[in-house]
Structure 1
Amino acid sequence: MVRDEQTKQGPVFKVVVGLSDGSEVEAVAILPDTSEGEADAEVVGMAILRTLEVIEATGRGR
């Protein structure tokens, strides 16, 4: 999650996903820079992390 102040809409929170080497990331969610937007961005980030855990576990035959 990053805070981006340089958007046409004003400051926002962006949830970004990419490879661990950081060479390329893509925003998958953009939320307003409010306390609600930050909370929603955290929920989105946790959902992505949990999804990756499930995918990894599935790959190991669990």
Structure 2
Amino acid sequence: MKLTIVGSSSRGNGYLLEAENGDQLLIEAGCHLREFKEIGNLKRSRARGMLISHEHG
């Protein structure tokens, strides 16, 4: 399993877990979803779960 830290600051926190088979789990607390695409290589078709709490302005 691979963990990518998308953000860890007062701007927002975000983590993307990716299994060996490519399945992804997104844990978001304030990061923009585009950051997950750019930094974490999020693929919605591979996402098996998303925990989204909020987004910072």
Asked whether the two chains share a fold, i.e. TM above 0.5, the reply is no
Q: TM-score, normalised by structure 1?
A: 0.25
Higher relative contact order (CA 8 A, sep 6+): 2
Structure with more helix by fraction = 1
Larger gyration radius, structure 1 or structure 2: 1
More strand by share: 2
TM-score (normalised: structure 2): 0.26
